[in-house]
Chain A
Amino acid sequence: MTVATKPAAAADKEMLISGCAAIAQALRLADIDVVTAYPIRPYDTVMQAVAKLIANGELDAEYIVASSEHDQFEIVKHASAVGARVFCGSSGVGWMYAMEAIAVTPALRLPMVALVGNRALDDPGAFGCEHNDALCVRDLGWMLTWVDTAQEALDTALIAYRVAEDPRIFLPCAIGADGAFLTHSETIVKVPSKEKVDQFLPKYDRGDKLLHPDNPITIAPQVNEDWVMEIRKQNDEAMRRARGVIQEAFRDFHKIFGRQGGNPFVESYMADDAEVILFGQGTLSMPVKVGVRKLREQGHKVGFVRLRWLRPFPTPEVQEALGRAKAVGVVDRDYSFGSPNYGAVLYNEVRSALYDLPKRPHVISFICGLGGREVTLDSVVEMSEILLKVAKTGKVEQPNYWIGVRG
């Protein structure tokens, strides 16, 4: 007589894959229903990887090649309304071309997950990484997260579905992945088993918001000024709730997969006792960490804090991580021409978040690595030295620097 026992969950499988392929693995594990594609670099590697999974019989999903990025997002928007788990993505001006569909998705509360393979906006036509494409949805009700390794890309994609599809949230989530450095580089990634993922990720259930003949509803009516503010308030509340749901999801993820045990919102690297801190998101973490170690060896108290979720913005965590430093340098791989102090997007967000602290650090803006230019070790040292000088003198001579620009 045999006794039925719960089979031990299969071990993670290690694969040498790119950031985009890692996301494709997450899509396989999440068993998505509908994916739409329209080629643009660097996002298109994920579209190729998903096509391959379907062709190999590893994933059973509707793969729709759209006639443009706008259609791409419209199709998944509607598929999501009828209860399909969907995936979409784009890059640079492709993402911009879809903006009308992208902008309406949060108010419809459709939990679309999208990859933005970050790419400079034309013109000039360029493939390299800049964050301005994804940042265009910063204010619209999309959750927005940036990853810095292929492993984190896979893990975050699973977490994104769990958070987005939580009935308390039902908001779309965009994952920012730096073009080239992450989308196109292959590293060893731990790919978990389907059983583990099933424990973590429940089925997408739209409940009474499901567009189906058995559940007659109208969605997206035309309204007047008596209604819009309440609808915006609902989105605001969903975004506020997202904070707690993200924390829950990371806790469960850690329990089931043994990874992602740290702070879901910010990664602090040698920052606890740091006098000066560099702050940024995405793959610039790599050269900055190297630089931080080097400067530490020379006795400088330098640290690094990486932002993982831009929306919802983790105000308390950012205050906690940066509040004790004397000077903070926000490294933006984006621009916001004409903004306060001619700084860029993250700089102004961080400065605003720190404003309420009784004692706050000086904040310097560094615009760096635009158009995919490498953020070099020399650049990291240059930025750190500027900050160390500010920390020492207590004076900000110049609020904004373009680092690595010829001239």
Chain B
Amino acid sequence: MTGSVEVVYRGIFQKHLGQRITRGIVLAAVKEGKVGISFGRYGDSPERNGIPAKSFAVVADNEEELQAYLSRYEPSNNDVTVAVDDTLCKGVESWAWYGLQPINKLTRPGGTVLATSMQSPEELLKDCHRKDAEWSLAVIKAIPSFSGLWVYKDDHTDVRVLGAIARLAPHVVKLESVEAAIRDEWGDELKVASVRKAYERVEIRKVRPDEGNPEKPYEFQLPKWWEMKEGLVIPGIPVKQEVEGWEGGYRPGRNPTFKKFSTRTMRPVVDFEICTKCTLCWLQCPDSCFDVTPTGHYDANMEACCGCGVCEAVCPVENCITMVNEAAFADNASQFETYEKDKDAYKTWLKGKIEDKVVTYRSHGFRYRGQYEEELAQMAAGGQLHSGVQSINEEPGAGPG
């Protein structure tokens, strides 16, 4: 019997995490006398900030069974799909394909999407696209773990995910074999304890085909060879495109086939009332995201934003642009249009987004000496991590929770 798991992760920030999980699955399966393979999706670009990428593990009873999964880029019927960043539940658009792939697209009917998230399965389900079959959504409560290209944040996310997989798909790996593999690989009993806690505490919710985000994901048809321009020629994108009813404003031309809905983990929100129209955000944005509105404001268009945070950094007006966790948003609507419709409602919305501490916290490495030890203690006590990026004004150690 074969089993496979895909781990969807964010380029650079979670590259090591993705690989550690899929390696862990194979190492655990070997303890059961099985064979396996762990590999990254080759066409991905795991060295690009935040670009969704994938790592896979396939285990089988013998080499012949495994062959059906070898020399392939991605298994298409996974027992478990892991989203190590919950914002990936909105869909995946990596460098390896075109169009938005729903997070559960390669999950087999009856399989499970497992996310690390501070949201409940109920809340997270709003982001996940519908599927033509029953499936489950499972959550390990945790702030998604982000680190860097050269460093790995050993906050137990990897082993917790392995523990949850043992619960969700015991035919892939059993709890005991995960524990044995972890003892062999790391010799760390605290990690073994984390595995067990995640095994017990993973929240699982069955999902019917009529539940979830009803939106039809953005699709892109690959052209036939005779439809492609010869000579590797790609026509340029027009500088401007007019927007109806936007006299005086315009939208920069953009790549029609590559949206960036899923590349970002954060997005800017703009307080149009205090904006001085200085143009800096519009000039400095590396992705030409800002539509120029008829009023001379700059509206970050979510079809193009990769979430880099440059606009927040260059805006000279305090609190005018704020980067907010992507998990806090349900759609890609224009902020300026919402603002124009009802200015007061917009202000309330904006305030709510900025102050939403549950989702705004992200775990981008360690910020002060002693944080790791502190987190380990939390983990040992509750099996759940509470710290994240410290805001500039916060005391060390004062995370949410």
A215→B97 CA distance, assembly (Å): 28
> Do A107 and B224 touch (CB < 8 A)?
no
Bound form: Cα–Cα A219–B43 in Å: 20
By a CB distance below 8 angstroms, the chain A residues around B230 are 109, 170, 209, 234, 238
B234 and A217 contact, CB distance less than 8 A: yes
Nearest B residue to A225 by beta-carbon distance?
Answer: B43
Closest chain B residue to A236 by CB distance? B225
* Least distance between A171 CB and chain B CB atoms (Å): 10
A220 to B234, CA, bound (A): 8
Q: Does A216 contact B (CB under 8 A)?
A: yes
Q: Mark A220-251, 1 if CB is under 8 A from B, else 0.
A: 11001111011101100110000000000000
Q: Which residues of B contact A225 (CB under 8 A)?
A: 42-43, 73
A230 contacts B232, C-beta separation under 8 Å: no
Q: How large is the interface on B (under 10, 10 to 19, 20 to 34, 35 or more residues)?
A: 20 to 34
The answer to whether B231 and A226 have CB atoms under 8 Å apart is no
Q: Is the interface of B mostly helix, strand, loop or mixed?
A: loop
Contacts of B226 in A (CB 8 A): 234
Determine if A353 is an interface residue (Cβ-Cβ < 8 Å): no
Q: Are A220 and B232 in contact (CB under 8 A)?
A: yes
Q: Answer yes or no: A67 CB below 8 A from chain B CBs.
A: no
Contact B234 A218 (CB under 8 A): yes
Task: Determine if A208 is an interface residue (Cβ-Cβ < 8 Å).
Answer: yes
- CB < 8 Å neighbour of B233 from A219, A226, A230: A219
How far apart sit A215 and B230, CA to CA, in the bound complex (Å)? 15
Cβ-defined contact, B231 with A170, below 8 A: yes
Is B228 interfacial (CB 8 A cutoff)? yes
Chain A residues lying within 8 Å of B235, measured Cβ to Cβ, are: 208, 216-217
Q: CB-defined interface of B82-111 with A at 8 Å, one 1/0 digit per residue?
A: 000000000000011110000000000000
* A221 and B228 contacting across the interface, CB-CB below 8 Å: no
- Count contacts on A: residues with CB < 8 A to the other chain: 25
- Give bound CA distance, A219 to B228, whole Å: 13
> CA separation between A220 and B231, bound complex, in Å?
8
Given that A224-B43, A224-B96, A225-B73 are known contacts, is A107 also in contact with B232, CB under 8 Å in the complex?
A: yes
- Beyond A224-B43, A225-B73, A226-B97, whether A209 also contacts B225 by CB under 8 A is no
- Give Cα A237–Cα B225 distance, bound, in whole angstroms: 10
1/0 contact trace for A88-106 toward B, CB 8 Å?
0000000000000000000
Whether the Cβ atoms of A230 and B236 lie closer than 8 Å is: no
> Is A108 interfacial (CB-CB < 8 Å)?
yes
Query: Which of B42, B235, B237 has most chain A Cβ within 10 Å?
Result: B235
**Across the interface, which residues of A come within 8 angstroms of B43, CB to CB?**
224-226
Which residues of the other chain, B, contact A107 by a CB distance below 8 angstroms? 231-232
By a CB distance below 8 angstroms, the chain A residues around B232 are 107-109, 219-221, 231
Residue contact B228 to A208, C-beta cutoff 8 Å:
no
Interfacial residues, chain A to chain B (CB-CB below 8 A): 107-110, 170, 208-209, 215-221, 224-227, 229-231, 233-234, 237-238
Residues of B within 8 A of A (CB): 42-43, 73, 95-98, 222-226, 228-237
Could you list 7 further interchain pairs (A-B, Cβ under 8 angstroms) beyond the known A209-B230, A219-B232?
A109-B230, A209-B233, A226-B43, A230-B225, A231-B225, A233-B225, A237-B225
